[in-house]
Every structure is written in C-alpha cells, then in structure tokens.
C-alpha cells in the first residue's frame, strides 16, 4: 500500500536501502552501480530504484534536504516497507582541521540543534547513534578499498544559513563535520528498531572557504557509494 509520500507497493524495496539526498544521485547510482534496476518510486521527484549489487538485492532512493524530509521518508521506509537498514550518503562541510576536500566521514554519532526528538517526550536528551555493525563494516570496506575514512561525530543542523553561531564552536567536542540529515535518520532507526548509518564526503570547508567544483562533485564522490554498497548484506 503506497504511503502519502512513496508510491511503491510493499515488497518493492530491498531490506537495505542507500539514501542520497539528491534524486539525480539516486538515478546515477541505479544506472552505474546496480544491476537490473527497476524504478519503484517517483512521487514528488524522489526517485527510488531496486536491483542487485554483487548478487544481493539493494534499493536506492533520495531523501531530499534536511531533517524534516529525511524524517518522513526514512520513517515510512522503516515502518511501512519493511526496510531494515538505511545508509545515507551525502556531502558535509568540514569542521575538524584535519579534514580535507573529498575525505570520507563515517558518522558514529551526531549532535544536533533540532527539536526532532521532543516528540518522544523523554526525561532527558537522546544521543542519535549509528548502528555499530554497519559502522564497523563500512570502516572495514573503506580500508579494503584503500579509502581514508574518518570515524567520529558530526553536527546535524536544522539550518543551512544561520546567523546565531559559528560551526567552529563544535571543534571543542571533536566534531568532524556538519550535515543536515543524520539525526532524524538515527532517531527514526532507534524508534523503529532498525539500523542506520551516515556516510559523508567532505565537499566544502566553511572555515577556510574551500569547496569542490560541480565537476568534482560529479566525478570524485564515488568512494562513499562503493563503501555503502559493500555494506549490503
């Protein structure tokens, strides 16, 4: 039964789903990495596909930008389509001085300025955390491919443009990078008893002004896709 935001039927998605923010990146993955890819969703332009990778069934679908969008799609996939694992792949801005353009970050946990978790009415503040098994596998696959991947925490922001603080403040806690979707994904996974991981490529360094060109984003961001796909069980 389709949901308000996904037009696929139950059974159309694999147990593991790779989730970029950009629908065109989902299309790119389906066309270049997945065999026998079948389009299963196009509602609101959030393209979704299911096929096989190295003989294992896998799906890929876009999430859109930000926690509200990720919150909707990941919840519906976990709750109504029996997806067991979602691996987000996306871009991030470097906070740590040790990170360079195109480095890979595996988000073990995330801090956030979002009020997303208030819905759970908890007597405290939850710590959005990735699934250890997925994290461990991703780190192993990165090493196998000779890819330098940094494991640590990220800051998941509800705002892209913000006048009230500097991301440099998060360096005090050893935060590696800033992105906009991981907290909603990790909290939805925890609430539904599922698994999640966020893998990001550093596309810009806000504190230095460095950034990747559009061509570099297109041609040099395949490493995180390979790592994510090699995590498929």
Instruction: Label residue 102 left, alpha or beta by phi (over 0 means left) and psi (-120 to 50 means alpha).
Output: left
Taken as a whole, the chain contains a residue count of 233
For the chain, list the strands marked E by DSSP: 16-20, 35-41, 48-53, 56-61, 85-94, 104-112, 149-156, 177-179, 195-205, 210-211
Active site residue 103: no
Task: Report which of 108, 230, 118, 129 is spatially closest to residue 183, judged by C-alpha positions.
Answer: 129
Where b means 16+ CB within 10 Å and e means fewer, 181-207 reads bbbbbbbbbbebebbbbbbbbbbbbee
CA dihedral 86, 113, 116, 79 (to 10 degrees): 0
Q: Which residue in the list 204, 222, 223, 230 is annotated as catalytic? A: 204
Give the SS3 label for residue 111: strand
Rounded Cα gap, residues 154 and 122, in angstroms: 22
Residues labelled catalytic: 204
């Amino acid at each position: 039964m389709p949901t308000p935001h996904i037009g696929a039927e139950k059974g159309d998605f694999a147990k593991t789903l790779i989730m970029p923010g950009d629908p065109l990146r989902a299309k790119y993955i389906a066309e270049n990495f997945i065999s026998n890819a079948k389009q299963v969703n196009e509602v609101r332009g959030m393209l979704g596909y299911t096929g096989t990778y190295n003989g294992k069934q896998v799906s890929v679908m876009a999430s859109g930008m930000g926690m509200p969008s990720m919150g909707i799609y990941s919840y519906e996939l976990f709750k109504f389509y029996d997806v067991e694992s979602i691996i987000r792949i996306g871009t991030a801005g470097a906070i740590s001085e040790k990170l360079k353009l195109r480095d890979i970050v595996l988000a073990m946990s995330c801090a956030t300025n979002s009020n997303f978790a208030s819905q759970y009415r908890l007597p405290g503040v939850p710590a959005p955390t990735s699934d250890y098994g997925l994290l461990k596998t991703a780190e192993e696959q990165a090493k196998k491919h000779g890819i330098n991947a940094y494991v640590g925490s990220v800051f998941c922001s509800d705002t892209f443009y913000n006048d009230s603080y500097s991301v440099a403040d998060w360096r005090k806690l050893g935060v590696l990078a800033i992105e906009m979707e991981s907290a909603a994904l990790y909290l939805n996974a925890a609430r539904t008893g599922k698994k999640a991981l966020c893998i990001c490529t550093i596309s810009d360094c806000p504190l230095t002004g460095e950034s990747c060109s559009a061509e570099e984003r297109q041609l040099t961001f395949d490493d995180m896709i390979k790592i994510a796909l090699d995590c498929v069980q």
